[in-house]
Amino acid sequence: MEAGLLISIAMVEIFPPSVGTPWSEATSARARQIIDRYPKPRSAVMPLLYLAMAAEGHLTDNGMREVAKRVGLTPAQVRSVASFYTMYKRDHPGRYLISCCTSISCMLLGSDEVLGALEDETEAMAGQDGDGSEELVTVEHVECIGACGGAPAVTVNYELIEGLTVEKARELVQWLHNARPETVGGAECQELFGGRRSFDWGPFDRSSADGPYPAFGPLGTVSVRSESQDG
Amino acid sequence: MTGHSIITARMSRFPSDSHTLDRYLDTGGYEALRKALGMSPQEVTGEVRSANLRGRGGAGFPCGVKWGFLAPGKPAYLVVNGDESEPGTFKDRQLMERDPHQMLEGTIIASYANEVNHAFIYIRGEYPRSARRIQRAVDEAYAAGYLGSDLLGSGYDLDVTVHLGAGAYICGEETALLNSLEGRRGEPRLKPPYYPAAKGLYMQPTIVNNVETLSNVPWIIENGGEAFSSIGPDGSRGTRLFSISGHIRRPGNYELVMGLSWRDLIFEVAGGIPGDRALKCWIPGGASAPWFVPDLHLDLPVTLDDTARAGSMLGSGAVVIMDETTCTLRAAERVVRFFAHESCGQCTPCREGCSWLERVLRRIEDGAGRAVDIDMLLDISDNISPGLAWPPRMTTICPLGPSAVSPILAITTYFKDEIMEHIHGGGCPFG
């Protein structure tokens, strides 16, 4: 009896029931489209976890429950998948997530100094903002992001900026704070703050990310900044 | 020196629109698919086998032979490995973003050769632009009849799904990738008993090929396997995309015919080291590869077999250059930290060993090193990969753990004095 009670208390703590709201009809419809892309529903867990983040800004217990019931898993099974991958953020990141690569090629060209500048400037700007009720910019260091030829490199909401300097890193944080762009465009950020690239990216890419998760059509997370389509 | 340009030809000639369907069709795109559909699947596989195309993901397994291993069960699947994450490597990103139809045509031909009706393209989560470009190419291919049912009136059906990863290097290991694609934690599977060709995705026969490997397939079908295998030295046929980064004047991806020397690759092709500083060492094939040093390796030919004989590998084709100003201990710590961070945690030698190595390296770098630390590094390494041999012996399910041993071997073999300086000097002599 007592053990049973303890177990149920533990379960309530891990998955408190009825916190958060069920997904909207639009999100549910998107989820059905995603599941239809795969021969088996379980394969849709990863894209659905991104969908859950897009719906609530980060990955919540509610989001994992919504994923679970759509693919026939328990919430705990979904959590076990989500906790394996670094891009599913259970702690609420700011509206802009800056991921600074500090792996070998970036390290050789000064990424530790770039990371330090990003962190310092973010702290300084957050202090200026006053109440600090909303975290606007989150800085994390990540392992290799495949931009070694343009080191040091960062992503903002997974949109790449290559050839950063300490000065440009500070300007990037200031710009995010002051301009507060609705969406983050990779090509635009590269033009404003980037330098040497790993290779010629080709024509200007007008796609941009609407939150701290990858901008990808089937997830519904891409914003197109002008009339013309993504190049 | 380079001579041939196969997979980067279109993007070099037409940098403004090499990714569009119009440009692709203008430059002979999807002609190889038409030709392949007029052949039997076995003939297509035979052509790729005669090309001696070796996998470009890291292991270098012959592509046509792999296709020949596919078990007869149905449904079978083809999975494109676009989870490029080996530190130093950024070639597949360029292929996906600058010539997505080339890779897609290779995927369709490979699917046809293996009688697969559903292919998946797994792209790492940090590459949303690659995923957008590939998805757009897939949408265009459906609209133009290169995908879907009865493609180009051949009676053959193929669907393609683009899948995004979520930040896990280990998913580049093919069985981890399959688990990930099934909606599971990306943990590698035990092999034996089941290899993907027999029981892969959903326990069905599955082929997993790298982006660069498949990008070569349209050219091979159009020009013939013989033409491909007449390029480059024996065992390293065709061209190879090298990602060059670190202390180098002209970093970038270079498509090269193998067989040139490391000296030519570093000093001619990539322009040498900024400020004409001295070359200290380099990683010849991604973070997993044992390092090379100028005294021993600069004039070796860049081929798969010569590199293997010298105790390393071309791996993912990533060359990371370090000049004389580099603290090799710090560089080793950074590579080891990567593997400690990316260990999936299934096998104790890797899970514990990699983070122990990282901590010992960090304390030496921070000035708290002890004289016994070099032996300790080697002892931990020996427990991850017994005998410290090449190719590494394994105590683990996959090669991730043994990869962390490569930088340890490099610094204890070539830069022991530098480690001792850290230990006796109470910190990093490079500041």
Give the separation between CA A187 and CA B129, rounded to whole angstroms: 10
Nearest chain B alpha carbon to A40: B182
Distance from CA of B201 to the nearest CA of A (A): 10
Give the separation between CA A161 and CA A154, rounded to whole angstroms: 5
Which residues from A are below 8 Å from B11, CB to CB?
A: 200, 202
Give the separation between CA B239 and CA B232, rounded to whole angstroms: 7
Give the separation between CA B123 and CA B83, rounded to whole angstroms: 5
CB count within 10 Å of CB B313 equals 21
Query: Tokens 């995923």 map to which residue?
Result: B131
Q: Percent of chain B having pLDDT more than 90?
A: 97
A104 closest CB neighbour out of B88, B128, B161: B88
Distance from CA of B47 to the nearest CA of A (A): 31
Give the separation between CA B24 and CA B17, rounded to whole angstroms: 9
- Does residue A1 have a pLDDT over 50? no
Distance from CA of B66 to the nearest CA of A (A): 24
Question: Quick check: A85 and B181 CB within 8 A?
Answer: no
Across B53-60, average pLDDT: 91
Give the separation between CA B88 and CA A145, rounded to whole angstroms: 9
- pLDDT tens profile B190-218: 999 989 999 999 999 999 999 999 999 99
Question: Quick check: A198 and B90 CB within 8 A?
Answer: yes
- Does residue B139 have a pLDDT over 50? yes
A85 closest CB neighbour out of B94, B127, B166: B166
Q: What pLDDT was estimated at residue A231?
A: 42
- Does residue A229 have a pLDDT over 60? no
- pLDDT tens profile B74-109: 999 999 999 999 999 999 999 999 999 999 999 999
Strand extents, DSSP E, A57-106 = 96-101
Q: What pLDDT was estimated at residue A7?
A: 56
Helix axes A186-193, A166-179, angle to 10 degrees: 130
Which residues from A are below 8 Å from B162, CB to CB?
A: 218
Please, what is the average pLDDT of chain B? 96
Q: What pLDDT was estimated at residue A20?
A: 78
Top residue of A49, A105, A188 to mutate, by most chain B CBs within 10 Å, is A105
A143 closest CB neighbour out of B93, B169, B185: B169
**Identity of the residue numbered A77:** Q
- A201 close to B (CB below 8 A): yes
Give the separation between CA A144 and CA B88, rounded to whole angstroms: 8
Question: Quick check: B334 and A102 CB within 8 A?
Answer: yes
Give the separation between CA B329 and CA B263, rounded to whole angstroms: 24
Strand extents, DSSP E, B74-216 = 77-82, 118-123, 159-164, 206-210
- pLDDT tens profile B284-326: 999 999 999 999 999 999 999 999 999 999 999 999 999 999 9
Question: Quick check: A104 and B86 CB within 8 A?
Answer: no
Query: Tokens 């290559």 map to which residue?
Result: A162
- A105 close to B (CB below 8 A): yes
B167 closest CB neighbour out of A85, A109, A200: A85
Across B415-428, average pLDDT: 95
- A132 close to B (CB below 8 A): no
Contact assessment for residue B251 and residue A198, using Cβ atoms and an 8 Å cutoff: yes
- pLDDT tens profile A21-60: 899 999 999 999 999 999 999 999 999 999 999 999 999 9
Give the separation between CA B93 and CA A35, rounded to whole angstroms: 26
